[in-house]
Amino acid sequence: MNNENIKILSTEILSDNWYTLNKITFEYHKKDGTVETQNREAYDRGNGATILLYNKENQTVILTRQFRLPTYLNGNASGMLIETCAGLLDKDNPETAIKRETEEETGYKIKDVQKVFEAYMSPGSVTEILYFFVAEYSKDMKVSEGGGHHEEQENIEVLELPFKNALGMIKTGEIKDGKTIMLLQYAQINGLVNL
C-alpha cells in the first residue's frame, strides 16, 4: 500500500466466523492539508473468479441458479439467483481457480479460458477483486452433472439457456447479479454469440 495520503492507525477484527470483517481506523490527508480520522468496516473474503460459458453453434450459455441469503434478506422472495459460475481463488491463480470452479459447479471440464477484465464489485465494503473469464463449451466437455460440493453446502442448479433469452432476463429482472450482467453484455458487445 503506497498512498501517502492514507495512514492506517488500527485494525480490529469484528468477526471471523465465515470470512473476516475488520474495523479500520485511519488518517486521511485531504487536499486542503487537513487530516481527518475515519473509521470504516471492510469485509475480506479473498479474491474470486467468474466465467461465462458460451456455445457459438447453438447460441447458448451456461448459467447457475442457487440460494443467496443476502438477496433473500433484501427482498428477493425466493432468494434464488441466476449467475455465471464463480468461486474464490483459494490460493490458486485465477485461471486455475475458474477451471476448478467450472467443473465443480457446472460439470464442464474446460481447457481454454480467456480473461477479459477484472473488477471490484462492492468497493465500499468488500476487499474482493473478481477476475472475469469467458470460454467456449461443447457437449463433449461435460464430465459430470455439476452442482457444487456437498461439503461446502452448495446446491447449484445448472442452466443452459439461449443467449438471447439470457439477455432478455436482464430486462425482465430475472437476472439481477452484477457479474452475470457484465459478462452477458461483454459477450453481446464482442459478438461471442450471434443473435
Return the domain boundaries, the chain. Answer: 6-44, 48-189
User: Strand 129-136 relative to strand 80-83: parallel, antiparallel, unpaired?
Assistant: unpaired
Q: How far apart are CA 118 and CA 97, in angstroms?
A: 14
Q: Which three cell numbers stand for residue 145?
A: 452433472
pTM, rounded to two decimals: 0.91
Classify domain 48-189 by CATH number: 3.90.79.10
Phi-psi region of 72 (alpha: psi -120 to 50; beta: other; left: phi over 0): alpha
pLDDT score for 3: 86
Handedness of CA 185, 187, 189, 195 (dihedral sign): negative
Predicted confidence at residue 146, as pLDDT, reads 80
Predicted pLDDT of residue 119: 98
What residues contact residue 55 under an 8 Å CB cut-off, 6+ apart? 61, 136, 137, 138, 193
Binding-site annotation: residue ranges for Mg(2+): 86, 101, 105, 154
Read off the DSSP letter of residue 31.
T
Task: Give per-10-residue mean pLDDT for the chain (195 aa).
Answer: 87 93 94 94 95 97 95 93 96 96 95 97 95 97 80 80 97 97 97 86
pLDDT of residue 44: 94
Q: Per the annotation, where are the binding residues?
A: 86, 101, 105, 154
CA distance 179 to 82: 11
